[in-house]
Amino acid sequence: MDRSILRVVLLDDELLALGYLRTLCEGIPDIEVVKAFDNPLLFLSEVSNLSFDFCISDIVMPHLSGLEVAEKLGSKPIIFTTAHNEYAADAFDIEAIDYLRKPVQKERLERAIEKVRTRINQSKNQAVWSVNTNKGKFSIQLSKIVSFSSDTYDRRDKLMLLENGDELIVKNKSFDQLLQELDTITFIRISKSELLSKGFIQGYHGDIILGKIRNKDGKYREFGLSENYRKTFLEAFKQ
């Protein structure tokens, strides 16, 4: 359940190297190649329309180097590949995830991707969401939020359940707005009236999802799975 699919974009001006890297990535479980580019300028012209988690890029390329591309990607994790040793220090100066010598070895690439996964998970755990509630404005770590439901007096509001069992009413938010503001990789719609964090799911049977937090009676909390959202839930659960 915690092995979510990571989406990668590949960049290398050498077509043979690009094809080889794509083959390696497609042979690694839980990795989806979104697109492969042989031109850094074309990649940057399309980047705003691409949904991806990290990038694997060559360093020495015409027009723009991989180091320059990384600077334009901001905080997006990047792994560098190169046949040149002299760029290693520069790569780590910009906090690259890893630096792989060509020809890239599959086991070495897998270790680098695990570093990406660790970095992304750490970012998720540290992410903070500021929201207006019935008790004022709160800043809450996303990793502490269990679920949202419409179990409130005002249907425009949502009841937010936290890991420690506390409940807050989030003011004037629709489920669509919540999914836009929150990490949609982490939260999933399980019914017309409820969102659930994937991190608090330990299993399911039939139309019941078993959570990782306990009720006051010591039993694990259960959540209802609507038939209309079953397919989406099962696809997410397999990831």
How many helices, marked H, and strands, marked E, lie in the chain?
7, 15
Four-residue CA torsion sign, 96, 97, 99, 104? negative
In this prediction, residue 176 carries a pLDDT of: 87
CATH code, 6-125: 3.40.50.2300
DSSP state of 139: E
In this prediction, residue 86 carries a pLDDT of: 67
In the chain, domain spans: 6-125, 128-238
Provide φ and ψ at 52, rounded to 5°: -150, 160
Among candidate residues 193, 229, 190, 238, the one with its CA nearest the CA of residue 210: 190
In this prediction, residue 1 carries a pLDDT of: 42
CATH code, 128-238: 2.40.50.1020
Q: Which helix (H) or strand (E) holds 22?
A: helix 15-26
- Tens-digit pLDDT string for the chain (239 aa): 446 789 999 999 999 999 999 999 999 988 999 999 999 999 999 998 888 999 999 999 999 999 999 999 988 999 999 887 766 656 666 778 998 999 999 999 999 999 999 888 777 766 788 899 999 998 888 888 999 999 888 889 999 999 988 999 999 999 888 887 886 567 889 999 999 998 899 889 989 999 999 888 888 999 999 999 998 888 776 65
pTM of the entire structure?
0.59
